[in-house]
Structure 1
Amino acid sequence: MPEPMDHSENMPRPGPAEPVAPATAPPADLPGATAGEGGTAAPETGDLVVDAALRDLAAVDDADLDATLVAGESVHRTLTSRLSDLGT
């Protein structure tokens, strides 16, 4: 029976974790993005209904989790509806 190979030298070593930058929205000056009231940028898709839902989500205050969840669920419903329209 062959001996198992030792791959431990290729494994990462434990150590201090590198700091991770917080996720941020793209700057509003990027093509296809518009700034919302909440300070985040909403991408523009060219679909008026989807763009409106994304702007509503971007306009929510980032510190208000309940409002963010409601707006996110609304975007999800809008996207689901628009995608189901494509299948017909």
Structure 2
Amino acid sequence: MSEHTSHTGDGDVPAEKVDDTVDPGPDGASDGDSAGTEAGAPGQGSPAPETGDLVIDAALRDLAEAPEDDLDAQVERGEQVQRTLQGRLSDLGG
């Protein structure tokens, strides 16, 4: 917990104490804890997003199931998702 100070020009006046600690969620991860995942990217234990496209959904599930401690597997599966998405986009291009 920290005490924030208000700067009003009349000198520094202590403001109310603010609890700036991060409360861990139900799985023990804090709300601000993004270790191992990028914004919007599924992490271990979180469900993969569903697009309605069976091939893309399968690639996203594979990525979500990659072990957190295996960077090579995460990179490999991420590259597979990229190839799958690029293939689908090229199919749309005609």
Distance in 1 (alpha carbons) for counterparts of 2:33 and 2:87? 31
Greater helix proportion: 1
1:75 aligns with 2:78: no
Aligned length: 61
In the other structure, the counterpart of 2:48 is: 42
Percent identity of equivalent pairs: 57
In the other structure, the counterpart of 2:33 is: 22
Query: How far apart are 1:69 and its partner, in Å?
Result: 0.3
Query: How far apart are 1:40 and its partner, in Å?
Result: 2.6
Match of 1:60 among 57, 61, 66: 66
Structure 1 residue runs of 5 or longer lacking an equivalent are: 1-17, 26-34
Greater strand proportion: 2
Structure with the bigger RCO (C-alpha within 8 Å, sep 6+) is: 1
The Cα RMSD (Å) is 2.8
Structure 2 residue runs of 5 or longer lacking an equivalent are: 1-19, 23-30
Kindly indicate whether the alpha-carbon contact (under 8 Å) linking 1:40 and 1:59 is maintained by their aligned counterparts in 2: no
